[in-house]
Structure formats: C-alpha cells, structure tokens
Amino acid sequence: MGHKLRDLFSCSALFRDAILIFTLVIVAHQTFGVIVTGVGGIGPGGYLKVTVDAPESVKSAIRWGIHDDFGFESVSYNNGDTASLQAGNVYLSFEPIVGWAMPASTQIWITPYSTNAAYATNTFTGSCSFVAVLGEYRGLFSEPSGPKFESCGFLEIFGGKGLSFTGKISSAGHRYSFSGSFDQNGVAWATVPRAGTSPLSVHLVAGDDILTGEIISESWTATLLARRATLGSNPAQKIGKYTFAFAGGADPSAQPGGDSFGTMTVNLSGSITLAVTMSDGTKATQKTSLSTDQQWPLYIPLYSGKGFVFGWLQLQDPNDSGAGDVALYQSWDYYSGPSARMPLGDYDYSQLPFDFNYYNPTTWSVRVPFGRMVTLYTNDHFGGFGLTITTNENRINLGYLRSARVGINFDVPPDFGTITWMKPIDRRGKYYPAGFTNQLQAFVSKYQSAAQTPVLEYSVGKGIFQNGYPFESITNEFSIDSYSRMSGPNHFNLTIAPSSAVFRGNVKNPLTGKTFSFSGVVLQRQQFGRGFFLDGDQSGSVYFGP
C-alpha cells in the first residue's frame, strides 16, 4: 500500500509500508537553487542514492553531500552515486553547477534503502520540482489569428536570483519595461505600465527552457512563447556567420516581388546580431538569441515604428548532418534511468548503447530532433517488427530492442520558417504606397569564407530576373572567375563580398536597353543567390545558380 506525504512547495512523494519516514523541504533562495531534504528513520545499514534530471553535460558535474545529526559531513558525491548512512536523521544538500539554469520542473530522485533484512523491501523513490528561471529568454507574441501591428511584438525576460525577473516588450513602435516574481509552481503575473494608455497584463508559465503565457490589453489577448538563450549541444557547429533570404510575393504590383535578404552572426553565448535589407530597399538591424532547438525570434520595427517583420526562424537545415542526435532513454519520462545519444547510423545489437536484452524494458522514451527519424527493430540485423519514430515519444511499448537505424527524415522539407512583413499605407512613398501584409518563406545557410577560395562550386551559371516594371523575365548566362566575380552578356557583372557573401551587380535589360542595379546574398550551402532590384515603382527578384 502506498502513502502520500504532505505536499511542500509542490513536492510530493510516495513510500511503501509506512516504515520509512521521509520529508522533503525546498529552499530555493540561491541563484541556482538549493534543496535541503531531510531523511529520517532509514534504519541500520542504510544507503542513499541521488539522481538528478539534467542534460548529460550537466550531470557529470553535479555534486551532493550528506550532513547527519552530529554535524559530520560526507565527501562530495557525483550524480547517481550511492552513499552509506547510519541510523538517525540525514540532511542532503544539492546545488547545481554554476552556468546551468534549472528548468522549471527539475526532477530529483532520492532512493534510500537498507541491507538490513527488516528494511530491505522498503525502498523509496521521491521526486521534487521547483522553479528556477535563470538566464535570458527571448520570444514573440501575437493574437492567435496572426500578427497585427498593435498586438504583436518582441519579448525579453531576464531571470535573476531566486524567482524574480525583469522584462522588456517591443511593440507598435514602443518599448516597455516590467518586473515580477514566479511562484513555486512556475507561474507569474506582471503589470506593464504604458504612458497615456491602459497597462498590459503579462501572464508567464515556466517550462523546460521556455516560457509560455499571454499578454492582455483591454481590446486584445496575445499568446507568447519565449525560449531560453543558449547554444545547447555542439556549440562549435552553431557559432559563425550565416546568410538568409525571404522569397518575394507573386504579384509585384501589389507587394514586392523581389527577395529580401540579410546576414547574421552567432557568437559563443548564442547571441545573434543581424542586418536585413527588405526588397523595397528598407534596411534594419536586430539583436536576438539562439535557443537549444536552434530557433530564433525575428521582430524588427520598420517605417518609423509603423510596420514590422515578425516570425520564428529555424537555423538548422533538417538535411544537414549537424541537425542533432536521437536521444534514447530507458524510462518512459525522458528523465530517470540511463540515456544515450545516437548519431546518424546503423546499430546492430552489439552496437546499441544499452543491453536491452538484459533490461527488457516495457516502456521507453525517445527524443527525435527536427529532420531525423529512428527505426527500432525487435530482431538483430534490422529484422522483425520495426517501429519508425519521427518526433518525441514516450511510453514506447516494443518489448526487446535488438537493432536500430537513425537516419534523415526526407519527408520533412527544409522549412526554415515563415515571416510576416507588414508595411503601412504611405501615400508619399515611392514603392507600394498602398501598403501590404505579406507572408515570406525563409532560406538560411551557414557561410564559411576563406581567402582565395571561391564561394561557389561551379564556374558557369545563369541568372534569372523577374517582375519589375514593366513586367518582364530575363535569363542571362555568366561565367565565374577564381575571385567569385561573374560576367556575361548584356553587360552582366556581379561581385560577391568574401567577408559577408553579399553580392551587388548590374545588367542591361535587352528589351528596353536600360541598365539596372541589383543586390542580394549567396546561400552557400544551397549554392544559389537570391536578391532584388527596384524598377519604376516595383520590386523584382534576382536568382542565380548553376
């Protein structure tokens, strides 16, 4: 029979046969959180094991110790270690390492047991959750129906010592600051004062490396999502320079037909600095951050704060070998028990990370990153029943696992995200004075420049110029020299800046005899360039490739 202990700050535990007495107390007053847990009546010949749910890179650095009633302190133990105990009360202190912010629901598994026959069957496992929102979170908010000028924007949350935080909102051409505190359940409410108008209410709910909730005004309610700024695993693969482009609209008379483009840099801390040139000639910059799942929030006010670009973008191409590893867990909840990373490849029985024949698990869990898939087989050499998984799943009931394959999910298109570009009505403007709201598909590529090394891998290609005014389509062949300079008929010339992959060029329209300028950016991984030109009062697109 199980007995439930009293809840203390959202902690609960179950113990069997009422022989062991176990109490959990949380003290979360330190920057990274401290737990003091009292264990009483463990009996002679007792032992204590502590296992903490944390990323693999953190588990290896976690330490814990024991203090008994007589003031004796044990040596420092590692996560998952077992320590011997004497009879009497024991207090366990746990503190995560500096540099790691605890998720909102960190699980701490504490298992006391005894070699004494009278206590041998009375094992116990308790779990405890507490809030610690440390670090920087950045994200976006908008109404569920889509981003609108007055009800969408950019959100920043800075978690400080204990449960307190400060925040900033950028929306509708204004910036607002606020502050507050989370309760022990990871929930917070804050008021955002606004000069000359009613305040906003911010509702935050802490999750694992994310914040969700709402921003509420008198006339609208917007949902929010913010992700914690961190490079996650394999940071060396993420830092560096990137280029991106946004595909233009289909009707250049109503909205720009050219492709907007930009460059960005990701530094060691995961911070992003980007510069964008929209295909109506508008330029802007932003500083934001990359999250563990390689997404970043784009929000830039345009046109003196009366317009914007808005959207979540995915940095990683799902077909890139660096998209991430499959994580396999010998538990149903992604937390307890052994776990292992599985990169791309085939795994016969001898190559599996665990001896599943020995453990014979009935339920497992697996995390599959974007663009990956894993097939689990009940027989060796990829035979028997095969279960293919393309997303995170828990409580997997397969029985024995004898082989597995981790591959690329080619059914997932290289979707880097979609942004909304809104331009207000401006009767005095040269380009698109009636304004527009446009949805643009994104393309992203890492850029690695090297002195004396061509940016492109081909020596001849073609450029395509479409839209503009009058509406025409021009295809122009070209050749590329060793310095990535292009030349061809119709006075075509193009130069790529080796430091940024931004290109600029000129070409003559053979139909009108008019020479026009164009610009854009090279997407090195895809080996093509995209950009725009302005002609009359419209925007046209530029594409070149092999």
- Interval 424-468: pLDDT, tens: 999 888 899 999 999 999 988 888 876 656 788 888 888 989 877
Mean per-residue pLDDT, 7-15: 30
Task: Indicate the domain borders of the chain.
Answer: 2-127, 133-228, 326-408, 454-545
Predicted confidence at residue 341, as pLDDT, reads 79
Q: In degrees to the nearest 10, what's the CA dihedral of 367, 371, 375, 380?
A: -100
126 confidence band (pLDDT: 50, 70, 90): very low
State the Cα–Cα distance between residues 288 and 273, nearest whole angstrom: 7
Q: What is the mean pLDDT of residues 56-76?
A: 58
What are the C-alpha distances in Å from 145 to residues 309, 466, 496?
Answer: 16, 32, 40
Q: Does the 326-408 domain belong in CATH 1.10.3720.10?
A: no
Determine contact, residues 154/169, Cβ cutoff 8 Å.
yes
Between 145-154, 240-249, 301-310, 354-363, the lowest mean confidence (pLDDT) is in 354-363
326-408 matches 133-228 in CATH topology: no
Segment 199-255, tens digit of pLDDT? 999 999 887 678 899 999 999 999 999 998 876 555 666 788 999 999 998 788 888
* pLDDT tens readout for residues 71-102: 445 566 777 777 766 544 455 555 544 444 44
Q: How confident is the model at residue 119 (pLDDT cuts 50, 70, 90)?
A: very low
**C-alpha to C-alpha distances, 33 to 270, 399, 529, nearest whole angstrom:** 24, 39, 49
pLDDT in tens, 455-509: 888 888 889 898 776 556 888 889 988 777 899 999 999 999 988 999 999 998 8
Judge whether 252 and 539 are in contact, CB under 8 Å: yes
Q: Which CATH architecture has domain 133-228?
A: Beta Barrel (2.40)
Place of tokens 């530094």: 267
User: What CATH number does the domain located at 454-545 have?
Assistant: 2.40.128
Q: How far is the CA of 90 from the CAs of 21, 22, 81, 130, in angstroms?
A: 11, 10, 16, 21
> Model pTM?
0.64
Residue 193 above 60 pLDDT? yes
Q: Residue type for 338, please?
A: P
* Yes or no: domain 2-127 corresponds to CATH 2.60.120: yes
With beta carbons less than 8 A apart as the criterion, state whether 232 and 295 touch. Answer: no
